[in-house]
Amino acid sequence: MKVIVVGCGRVGGELAYRLFRKGYQVTVVDPDAAILRNLPPDFRGRTMQGDPLNQDVLRHAGIEQADALAAVMPSDSINAVVAHIAGVVYRVPTIVVRNYEVRHRSLHETFGTQVVSPSGWGAQRIEEMLSGPTLHTVFSAGNGEVEIYEVLAPEAWAGRTVETLAPGDQCRVVTITRAGRAILPPPAAQIEAGDVLHLSATREGIEVVRRQLKKTREA
């Protein structure tokens, strides 16, 4: 698989090295030659110093044959333009863009590219940790629109059914682990105190569960 990584900062350098270690053919492009020298000494991919907005630079990097491109420069406008060129002009099949500032995320969404927003995701994780230790995020899809949460069922939930705990389409109990054995629960499955529940939920859905947990702690 041939991948171009545009930007060799902390994210780009780490990404390029990880892909190289997986056996991908990696080309890293950055305007700053000094930053390119920060790649680990055993990195054997290609490096190119040049302006990623210059199509001659992109062609020399192999964009016409690339299977994927990651735009991870510390500039949302550059990342958006590079991704747009890669998709519209060169038809690169897979394009992922780093969103540097949350307020600029709509810029990437306008072009319909896949977006990763580390600062927004990180702020959300910290907010959850500050809200209390009972509910933990174990997996995040996309930029946190849907996530998998783990929660230890309190005594107050004993006897409740799965469908009453997570009503609607915003939150679903996907597994119950009891005495070390996990099951896929039907809607009518009853919860026992001490069960480990994994819930798939949107941000709105998990807030409903958080409010229920808060009521059990205050009771």
To the question of pTM greater than 0.85 for the whole model, the response is no
Residue-wise pLDDT for 71-97, tens only, equals 999 998 899 999 999 999 999 999 999
With a cut of 50, list the residues of the chain below it in pLDDT: 132-133
- In this structure, what token pair is assigned to residue 89? 């002009």
Instruction: Give the domain range for residue 62.
Output: 2-117
140 and 191 inside one domain: yes
111 and 14 inside one domain: yes
Where does a domain end: 117, 141, 163?
A: 117
72 and 13 inside one domain: yes
- Nearest Cα neighbor of 99 from 11, 3, 5, 35 is 11
Asked whether residue 123 is assigned to any structural domain, the reply reads no
Asked whether residue 28 is assigned to any structural domain, the reply reads yes
Count of structural domains, the chain: 2
According to DSSP, the β-strands at 68-71 and 196-202 are unpaired
Asked whether residue 109 is assigned to any structural domain, the reply reads yes
CATH of the domain at 159: 3.30.70.1450
Looking at residue 132, its pLDDT comes to 47
Asked whether residue 122 is assigned to any structural domain, the reply reads no
Looking at residue 219, its pLDDT comes to 62
14 and 40 inside one domain: yes
CATH of the domain at 75: 3.40.50.720
Phi-psi category of 132—alpha, beta or left, where left has phi over 0 and alpha has psi -120 to 50? left
Looking at residue 133, its pLDDT comes to 44
65 and 146 inside one domain: no
